[in-house]
C-alpha cells in the first residue's frame, strides 16, 4: 500500500525488545536502524506526493530499503 510505514518496529513487532536492546548496546546497529527508517520515510513521502521521481529511481530506493531490512533481520536473528 502506498504511504505505508515500513519502520523496523512495524515490520518486526515480535522483535521489539531485541531491536531496542541492540540499538542501546550497539552503535553500528543503531545507525543502521536510523538509516533504514530515514530511507523508509523518504520513500513514504515520495509516495504520498505522487512519486515526484522516475520509476527506476523509486525502484532503486525500494530495493535499497529491502536490502537494509534483510541485513538488519540477519543481525536480529543471529546475535
- Asked if the model's pLDDT at residue 2 lies above 80, the reply is no
Averaged pLDDT of the chain? 92
Q: Indicate whether 13 belongs to any domain.
A: no
Calculate the CA 63 to chain-centre distance.
11
9 in a structural domain: no
> Using one digit for the tens of pLDDT, what is the confidence trace for 6-32?
999 999 999 999 999 999 999 999 999
What is d(CA 33, CA 49) in angstroms, rounded to the nearest whole number? 24
In this prediction, residue 50 carries a pLDDT of: 81
Residue 1 maps to a domain: no
Would you say residue 11 lies in a domain?
no
Q: Which three cell numbers stand for residue 73?
A: 533481520
| Position 73 in a domain | yes
Mean pLDDT on 69-73: 97
Residue 46 CA to residue 30 CA, distance in Å, equals: 24
For residue 36, is pLDDT > 70? Answer: yes
Which of 14, 57, 15, 55 has its CA nearest to residue 39?
Answer: 57
Q: Is the pLDDT of residue 64 over 90?
A: yes
CB-neighbour burial class of residue 11 (10 A; exposed 0-12, middle 13-18, buried 19+)? middle
Amino acid at each position: 500500500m502506498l504511504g505505508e510505514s515500513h519502520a523496523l518496529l512495524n515490520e518486526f513487532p515480535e522483535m521489539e525488545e531485541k531491536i531496542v536492546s541492540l540499538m542501546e548496546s550497539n552503535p553500528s546497529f543503531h545507525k543502521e536502524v536510523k538509516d533504514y527508517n530515514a530511507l523508509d520515510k523518504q520513500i513514504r513521502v515520495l509516495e504520498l506526493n505522487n512519486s515526484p521521481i522516475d520509476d527506476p529511481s523509486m525502484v532503486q530506493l525500494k530495493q535499497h530499503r529491502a536490502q537494509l531490512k534483510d541485513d538488519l533481520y540477519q543481525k536480529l536473528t543471529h546475535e
